[in-house]
Amino acid sequence: MTMSRLISFASACGLLAMGAPSLAAEAGGDAAAGKGKTSMCIGCHGIGGYKTAFPEVYSVPRLGGQHAAYIVKALQEYKAGNRSHPTMRAIAAGLSDKDMADLGAYYAAGAITTAGK
């Protein structure tokens, strides 16, 4: 892990720890509805070990088993332009708060899965 990624990760963890209780309360999504909204997610996040090549080589994280509040916060940050991955920014731009909460609930409820399972 590069130093800049380590710093980004540490910062994200700190922000999550400070806002986790309120984010979890706000998330309140519907996992069943979230399942129907994953088509834009599974193309990258559903492939174990997948790496993007644009704008740089980046290991795509798995979403299954993540905390709902973390997923919601990450999507909000992409939508606001505070996270820089262009594909994720474009996807998040089209999501409503309800979509984000539903996706967070779906991925938080599920086990880690890949396209092969």
The pLDDT-based confidence of 27 (bands split at 50, 70, 90) is low
Least confident of 35-39, 49-53, 101-105: 49-53
List the chain domain ranges: 3-109
Average pLDDT over residues 38-57: 88
- CATH class, domain 3-109, is mainly alpha
Q: What is the average pLDDT score of the chain?
A: 80
pLDDT in tens, 73-107: 999 999 999 998 999 999 999 999 999 999 999 99
Q: Which two tokens stand for residue 19?
A: 């806002």
The predicted pLDDT at position 58 comes to 84
Q: Max CA-CA distance within the chain?
A: 38
Instruction: Work out the pLDDT band at 41, boundaries 50, 70, 90.
Output: very high
Identify whether the C-beta of residue 62 lies closer than 8 Å to the C-beta of residue 48: yes
* C-alpha distances in Å from residue 43, one per residue of 3, 35, 39: 28, 14, 7
